[in-house]
Structure 1
Amino acid sequence: MPIDLVLRSRRVLTPEGERPAAVSVTAGRITDVQPYDTPPPRGTRVEDAGDHVVLPGLVDTHVHVNDPGRTEWEGFWTATRAAAAGGITTIVDMPLNSLPPTTTRRALIVKQDVARPKVHVDTGFWGGAIPGNLNDLKPLHDAGVFGFKCFLSPSGVEEFPQLGGEALESAVAEIAGLGGLLIVHAEDPAVLDAAPQVPGARYADFLASRPHTAEDRAIEHLIALARQYDARVHILHLSSATALPLIAEAKAEGVRITAETCPHFLTLTAEEVPDGASEFKCCPPIREAANQDALWAGLLDGTLDCVVSDHSPSTADLKTADFASAWGGISSLQLGLPAIWTEARRRGRTLADVARWMSTAPAELAGLTQKGAIAPGRDADFVVLDPDRTFTVDPADLQHRNRVTAYAGRTLQGVVTSTWLRGVRIADHGVLTEPRGELLRRA
């Protein structure tokens, strides 16, 4: 088939490293990666990014779209526009905060029907594991969900209760038997119940209510279950750096456990959170600067596998000044890449590291073998980044439905100039095309 497009740049991030290259695209797939000066076939469309960096399109496996049912919080149209504007070409939607939650095959079909005409980027779905839906897990697995999410502590919404005791063990065994993946919000409810619960505007009080030990004990338990059942278990949004030695030891032993962290844990610190500023509230919480340094060390040594957003928006009225009652969630889908690049660059890391953490590793986690790399045979998903340009975050510029953000007023480095999905430019200097995303199934 003829080549549709050659995208070239002096800085292309390939699996072999950054180099000048010309990337050939045919029918939405990468067919070749050649030296920059390779003459294209006559008549081929050529796009030259100059000295801007071409990265593989980012893959965000932790996004709460809240559609259907709570579309006033977000929605597939706005969430995927924000993703495209931020260089993300693939998301995997979480099963809760939508009504109905994705805990049955019928609910998955409802969500897919809602999403199909709205998605600007490719979109997959997690299933949910809750008390009473053990028999629904195999039908969801057969329908192509990428795995199953559960909470060990209350989720914040009554239709998605926590999983514990024998029900958790049964779910681990069932999912392991399917060859599936269990992804877990890991906070121990007993530790949370015993922690001081002081309502009000003081961030220090909220932080004390979600101690490190809540994550650490939950992760110890999950490691034991993963070991017992030879199950694949993934720890979501790790905040507590004191859990890193547990994960590292389990990995070294051969336990099939992985873990992620999020931009807000790597770029924001408890010391800078103003009292009453619940746009910074999330569970588990943003912790101290020393904890952040340890998370970066865990990312660099491979204990942490990937960086994803945990984009969890709500309407502005739910972000009250009382940290105890305010909705917990950080909206960062559009800002994750520049936020991480700003801090990674300050710490002496490269865009190749960022591409590995935010594209290659999340794609591998979800089994998205066609995503996550600029290499022949992969989808022609790209993000073009001006790595040296800075901007100040203005919530009015965001594509999220509700533009409450912990990053408001921050100066970040790295501007997404264009985003490409299967060889088609879907965002160009902030201007979005009509939806071109596809719904994805587990391979």
Structure 2
Amino acid sequence: MELLLRSTRVVTPEGVRAAAVAVTGGRIAAVLPHGTEPPPGTPVEELGDDVILPGLVDTHVHVNDPGRAEWEGFATATRAAAAGGVTTLVDMPLNSIPPTTTVPHLRAKQAVARGRAHIDVGFWGGALPGNLDDLRPLHDAGVLGFKAFLSPSGVDEFPHLDRHDLDAVATRIAELDALLIVHAEDPDRLAGAPQRGGPRYADFLASRPRAAEHEAIAALVDVARRRGTRVHVLHLSSADALPLIAAARAEGVRITAETCPHFLTLAAEEVPDGATEFKCCPPIREAANRDALWAGLADGVVDCVVSDHSPCTADLKVPDFAEAWGGISSLQLGLSAVWTEARRRGRTLADVARWMSTAPAALAGLSAKGAVEGGRDADFAVLAPDETFTVDAAALHHRNPVTAYAGRTLTGVVRSTWLRGRKVTDHGTPLTGPPALTAPTGRLLER
């Protein structure tokens, strides 16, 4: 035993209980009774009533590095993640230049990330028109799965798949028994929606109708049913698609779904006109839709809650919703935002741990992550669940001080974050460890 963390509230797979967590070699050796005394000389971290959660696993993060590092980089993204209790993130293949669509491109991204990551980092590969023959090499090189768009992505270097391309990609990914994760909006429905532009949020919302999500998910279900592919719906915003996903799963289609903190905590009725820090695609919808997404989580139709942290420089958030970059910066705030709303709705920290750690770890195949139990990595988020704070965008650790949560009071303060038994943040401040250790110590993960 190299370390013992003791708390009256530890979130374990068996429930929340008083316990002492023993750490050896960066792994959880055992979860012991609270009063267990360690061998003489063993460091003990007394956490009182603060809650030990499994470190969050955020499988939907746009780091943008290399190529758009002025938007976000590995050092700043992982520092923000650690401050928010996230101990593992998986980087999306687009918004960096080059995108992660070939093995050389993957290696270029890994080279940039190496030595800069404060937490562990994995990588999704990209599935584009024309890169079908790159999928197996990327799979063999260790990507955790493949992302595709069914509508324009917003960047020229990452085009979307049409129905023919989707079928070919799904077939190849099924042969690999890999995972296909999909931005599901139908391009024809989007093209047919009113495109007024300007500062009114209502006009932007009308430009991204719920039917676009529903039809794209229906196409994804169809191809998954025919080809046997494992598929995952990214950032579900429309609750209208929940019955479709539930029915597909009931008949044996291998489909999972995620939603995001902003869809669970924000509502269209509250978005001020011109406030494009709230713009994302698909969009934040009405409060009634938000309630239905919470019901989907409670029913198990929605599996995961992940950030879709998609930052940009402040100048790209112009007050015209048609022209502004679409993306919500929330990497550091997801746990507190979700817990604020979850506790109001009678949900527990065990629920939050399942949605934000256990299920995303399982989705990405990261078997060492996602739970406080023997044999897993000693990754922890220590939370003061009853304390509140007001979000100051300028004090956050991601690169650009823009967030839809600015000025909001959230409940749940992350006291510290631990990566493989080593404290990496203390009250939101990144730590560099012993005097001889000056570089971040996150690892690059491969399948």
Normalization by structure 1: what TM-score?
0.99
Whether 1:368 and 2:387 are equivalent positions in the alignment is: no
1:375-386 equivalences under 5 Å are: 375-386=373-384
Whether 1:7 and 2:5 are equivalent positions in the alignment is: yes
Task: Identify the residue that residue 142 of structure 1 maps to in structure 2.
Answer: 140
1:134-213 equivalences under 5 Å are: 134-213=132-211
Whether 1:438 and 2:412 are equivalent positions in the alignment is: no
Q: Find the aligned partners of 2:130 and 2:220 in 1 and give their Cα distance.
A: 20
Whether 1:31 and 2:36 are equivalent positions in the alignment is: no
Per-residue deviation, 1:201: 0.3
Runs of 4+ residues over 6 Å off in structure 1: none
1:342-361 equivalences under 5 Å are: 342-361=340-359
**Structure 1 residues 380-416: Cα deviation after superposition (integer angstroms, max 9, x where no partner):** 0001000000000001110010110000000000000
Indicate the SS of the match to 1:145: coil
Task: Identify the residue that residue 238 of structure 1 maps to in structure 2.
Answer: 236
Task: Identify the residue that residue 129 of structure 1 maps to in structure 2.
Answer: 127
Indicate the SS of the match to 1:39: coil
Task: Identify the residue that residue 264 of structure 2 maps to in structure 1.
Answer: 266
Per-residue deviation, 1:117: 1.1
**Structure 1 residues 279-306: Cα deviation after superposition (integer angstroms, max 9, x where no partner):** 0000000000000000000000000000
Task: Identify the residue that residue 393 of structure 2 maps to in structure 1.
Answer: 395
Indicate the SS of the match to 1:234: strand
Indicate the SS of the match to 1:59: strand
Q: Find the aligned partners of 1:336 and 1:107 in 2 and give their Cα distance.
A: 29
Indicate the SS of the match to 1:374: coil
Q: Find the aligned partners of 1:39 and 1:162 in 2 and give their Cα distance.
A: 57
Q: Find the aligned partners of 1:230 and 1:431 in 2 and give their Cα distance.
A: 45
Q: Find the aligned partners of 1:287 and 1:403 in 2 and give their Cα distance.
A: 24
Q: Find the aligned partners of 2:50 and 2:332 in 1 and give their Cα distance.
A: 19
Q: Find the aligned partners of 2:373 and 2:59 in 1 and give their Cα distance.
A: 21
The residue type equivalent to 2:361 in the other structure is A
- What are structure 1's unaligned runs of at least 5 residues? none
The residue type equivalent to 1:404 in the other structure is V
The residue type equivalent to 2:309 in the other structure is H
**Structure 1 residues 41-70: Cα deviation after superposition (integer angstroms, max 9, x where no partner):** 111110011000000000000000000000
Alignment equivalent of 1:85, drawn from 83, 86, 90: 83
Per-residue deviation, 1:167: 1.3
Task: Identify the residue that residue 275 of structure 2 maps to in structure 1.
Answer: 277
What is the alpha-carbon root mean square deviation over aligned residues?
A: 0.5
Q: Find the aligned partners of 1:74 and 1:87 in 2 and give their Cα distance.
A: 19
Task: Identify the residue that residue 214 of structure 2 maps to in structure 1.
Answer: 216
The residue type equivalent to 2:280 in the other structure is C
1:404-419 equivalences under 5 Å are: 404-419=402-417
Indicate the SS of the match to 1:92: strand
Per-residue deviation, 1:192: 0.2
Q: Find the aligned partners of 2:195 and 2:110 in 1 and give their Cα distance.
A: 39
Indicate the SS of the match to 1:205: helix
Q: Find the aligned partners of 1:155 and 1:22 in 2 and give their Cα distance.
A: 46
Per-residue deviation, 1:30: 0.4
Q: Find the aligned partners of 2:415 and 2:394 in 1 and give their Cα distance.
A: 18
Alignment equivalent of 1:329, drawn from 309, 327, 334: 327
Q: Find the aligned partners of 2:358 and 2:26 in 1 and give their Cα distance.
A: 19
Q: Find the aligned partners of 2:273 and 2:296 in 1 and give their Cα distance.
A: 29
- What are structure 2's unaligned runs of at least 5 residues? 433-439
Task: Identify the residue that residue 73 of structure 2 maps to in structure 1.
Answer: 75
Per-residue deviation, 1:431: 1.5
Q: Find the aligned partners of 2:67 and 2:25 in 1 and give their Cα distance.
A: 36
Per-residue deviation, 1:165: 2.2
Q: Find the aligned partners of 2:431 and 2:206 in 1 and give their Cα distance.
A: 45
Per-residue deviation, 1:215: 0.1
Q: Find the aligned partners of 1:206 and 1:179 in 2 and give their Cα distance.
A: 38
Tell me the matched-pair count: 440
Q: Find the aligned partners of 2:188 and 2:37 in 1 and give their Cα distance.
A: 65
Indicate the SS of the match to 1:426: strand
The residue type equivalent to 1:439 in the other structure is L
Indicate the SS of the match to 1:18: strand
Indicate the SS of the match to 1:204: helix
Q: Find the aligned partners of 1:165 and 1:334 in 2 and give their Cα distance.
A: 36
The residue type equivalent to 1:437 in the other structure is G
The residue type equivalent to 1:410 in the other structure is R
Per-residue deviation, 1:367: 0.5
Indicate the SS of the match to 1:158: coil
Alignment equivalent of 1:108, drawn from 106, 109, 112: 106
Q: Find the aligned partners of 1:73 and 1:39 in 2 and give their Cα distance.
A: 48
Indicate the SS of the match to 2:18: strand
